[in-house]
Amino acid sequence: MGAGRSTARPTASLPFTMRAVLIIANPNPDGFSHALAERAIAGLTAAGHQVLVHDLYAEGFGAAMSAEERQAYHGEHPALDPLVVEHIADLTDAEIVVFVYPTWWSSVPAILKGWFERVLVPGTGFVFDGDGKVKPGLTNVRRLVGISTYGSPWVSVKITNDNGRRIIMRAMRLSTGLRTRCNWLGLYAMDTVSDTERASFLDRVERKMARL
């Protein structure tokens, strides 16, 4: 995959259907996560979706919220970094959001955790109604998809609560609204599965994305 932000458009023979943003969080461009992202993009474009890709490591996305950002968090302009502003603009225009990452320490990589903290700020991730109650801010998102690999088998992942999945499928869904449909694709025991099983999972990801 190319570095940073890129766009994949549907083939000319297919009508444009939905806008998708794919977020990938893996520092190794030759890693399996990037192979998964490529197959996800292939499936989405085959379905006629326009896909915008953000490779967080290639873009140099900062994982830590700065002191200045925290002070601005509840102000009129909580996003100070131009890169964060760009991500917000793309996210608020998306109908499908896909996350591709390896599960580390039972959760998302730090760079992706920072993405949630810095991008899903007030006015984006949530808004307040006239009574001061919190409401979803990303009701434009109709589908949430998580694609992850795990070094541990499924039983161990379940025991440790699979926190990355909970962040995306539960916490972020509160920002998009409970009507958002969610899909999760996980490859467990990544370190010991066969090449055939890896290839099968790649095929499964592409098929699933082609059906969105």
* Ramachandran category for residue 123: left, alpha or beta (phi over 0 → left; psi -120 to 50 → alpha): left
Nearest to 36 by CA among 206, 182, 150: 206
Question: Do residues 126 and 92 touch, judged by C-beta distance below 8 A?
Answer: no
Beta-carbon count within 10 A of 125 CB? 21
Name the E strands within the chain: 5-8, 19-24, 50-55, 96-102, 126-128, 134-136, 143-149, 181-187
Provide Rg for the chain, Cα atoms: 17
How confident is the model at residue 130, as a pLDDT?
81
pTM of the model: 0.92
How confident is the model at residue 15, as a pLDDT?
58
How confident is the model at residue 128, as a pLDDT?
87
List of residues 6+ apart from 14 with CB closer than 8 A: 46, 47, 48
Token pair of 38, please? 């490529």
pLDDT (tens place) for every residue of the chain, 212 residues total: 546 777 776 655 555 689 999 999 999 999 999 999 999 999 999 999 999 999 999 999 999 999 999 999 999 999 999 999 999 999 999 999 999 999 999 999 999 999 999 999 999 999 988 888 899 999 999 999 999 999 999 999 999 999 999 999 999 999 999 999 999 999 999 999 999 999 999 999 999 999 99
Q: From CA 128, how far away is CA 122, in angstroms rounded?
A: 8
Positive/negative CA dihedral, 170, 175, 177, 183: negative
How confident is the model at residue 7, as a pLDDT?
73
CATH of domain 5-210: 3.40.50.360
Delimit the domains of the chain by residue range. 5-210
Strand order through the sheet with 19-24: 5-8, 50-55, 19-24, 96-102, 143-149, 181-187
How confident is the model at residue 17, as a pLDDT?
86
